[in-house]
Structure 1
Amino acid sequence: MARRDARDNTARDKPSGGSETQAKDVCLRLLSDRARSRSELEQSLAKKGYTADIAESALDRLAQVGLIDDAAFAEQWVHSRHTFSGKGRQALALELRRKGVGKEEAAGALEQISADDERERAAELVRKKLRTLSVPDDTGERDKTVRKLVGMLARRGYGQGMAFDVVKTALAQIGSATDDLVDE
């Protein structure tokens, strides 16, 4: 029992974290999985017990050699998540904020998605979903389908007005009556 207490005290007496080289190695391992923002790497280093000075120094060095670039990260993130996950600008802005990307970098990255691009991606998502849904002739049931589709787009970060318009257009294209649909 005394031996265990001695080990516990020894572990507590050691300084937390590690060297700058070790911190850089941790960051490089994380970056080998996927691109990350500076804030994400900073948080990972803090969780591993690295001091703020060592983390800052390691991150500065990685930024100097171009391995950490929040603007490039944001552009890559926006392109990937919009193209492959169908995320809208609102959802992407929130994701970038959560990842610690600054407003300027996020705004620059979000500019690559035009209103037409966003609308087309939303229309693709609705067309894909309509392949698995039946649109009933009954007005009440059709309205449930409309709400389901608009809700799907809203959860992915598309504005309600645009989402409703995209759904209404898609329903009209498949021959469903849309004259009585009203944007709420």
Structure 2
Amino acid sequence: MEHKITALRVQKRNPNRVNVYLDGSFAFGLSRIVAAWLRVGQTLSDEKIATLQAEETREAAYQSALRFLNYRPRSEAELRSKLEGKGFEPSVIDATLQRLVEEGWVCDDRFARAWVESRKASRPRSRRLLALELRRKGISEENIQRAVADLEDTELAYQAALRYARRLEGLDYATFYRRLAGFLERRGFAYGTVVATVRRVWEEIRATHDTTT
């Protein structure tokens, strides 16, 4: 069956959407990008209407994904979970993710590297814990190993300890050790690394104190 477009009206509450009227009655709404080629007087078959609505669904999923990415970078698995939560069908999600990857909006390898660099700069933790965090975000083992390849737990533990040790100034060694060691253990560092790091930081603090008194 053929239907004639009798009106195209921009929605008052959302100027990025257009109401489509067929045969004198409201039929459905479309995003402006999907409705861009439509004209009043044009006829649409039932098949073409179904195609338009499918395209509208794909565009809605794409725009939804871009909004999620606007808050912060996300892995493919995170985006898939978000889109599933919005009720999109698996085929639509697959097509959306493929489009995002092709356009460079999503790249798990880049995401993993950026995640590691961010952690190093703000909240250092062990390679093991960083890898675990990335696995939870759905990053492949190959991308994880590339992201953590150049990391050394000795240096990560030292950087983490330096930040935390500022809170422990003036404490005796036993209390200093207990608190800093506990902190490093929670960050995923092995016992040997923790012991060596606490001793190193304590000795540096004492040396600095001795030179200033």
- Structure with bigger strand share is 2
Q: Which string of whole-angstrom CA distances, capped at 9 and with x for unpartnered residues, describes residues 94-116 of structure 1? A: 11011000000011011132x2x
- Alpha-carbon distance in 1 for matches of 2:166, 2:80: 44
Say if 1:37 and 1:68, in contact at 8 Å, map to a contact too: yes
Unaligned runs of at least 5 residues, structure 1: 1-17, 137-141, 177-184
Q: Please report how far the alpha carbon of residue 146 of structure 1 lies from its aligned counterpart in structure 2 after TM superposition.
A: 1.3
Specify which of 166, 171, 179 is matched with residue 135 of structure 1: 171
The sequence identity of aligned pairs, in percent, is: 32
Q: Which has the higher contact order (CA 8 A, sep 6+)?
A: 1
Q: Which string of whole-angstrom CA distances, capped at 9 and with x for unpartnered residues, describes residues 83-133 of structure 1? A: 1112221221111011000000011011132x2xx4334223323333322
Unaligned runs of at least 5 residues, structure 2: 1-55, 208-213
Q: Which has the larger radius of gyration?
A: 2
- Alpha-carbon distance in 1 for matches of 2:163, 2:111: 29
Partner of 1:51: 89
Q: 1:164 to 1:124 in 2, by over 3 A?
A: same
- Structure with bigger helix share is 1
Q: Please report how far the alpha carbon of residue 155 of structure 1 lies from its aligned counterpart in structure 2 after TM superposition.
A: 1.4
Task: Give the number of equivalent residue pairs.
Answer: 151
Is 2:187 aligned against 1:156?
A: yes
Partner of 1:172: 203
- Alpha-carbon distance in 1 for matches of 2:71, 2:111: 13
Partner of 1:75: 113
- Alpha-carbon distance in 2 for matches of 1:146, 1:32: 42
Say if 1:82 and 1:88, in contact at 8 Å, map to a contact too: no
- Alpha-carbon distance in 2 for matches of 1:42, 1:128: 36
Say if 2:125 and 2:160, in contact at 8 Å, map to a contact too: no
Partner of 1:9: none
Is 2:160 aligned against 1:125?
A: yes
Specify which of 67, 86, 89 is matched with residue 29 of structure 1: 67
Partner of 2:134: 96
- Alpha-carbon distance in 1 for matches of 2:98, 2:104: 10
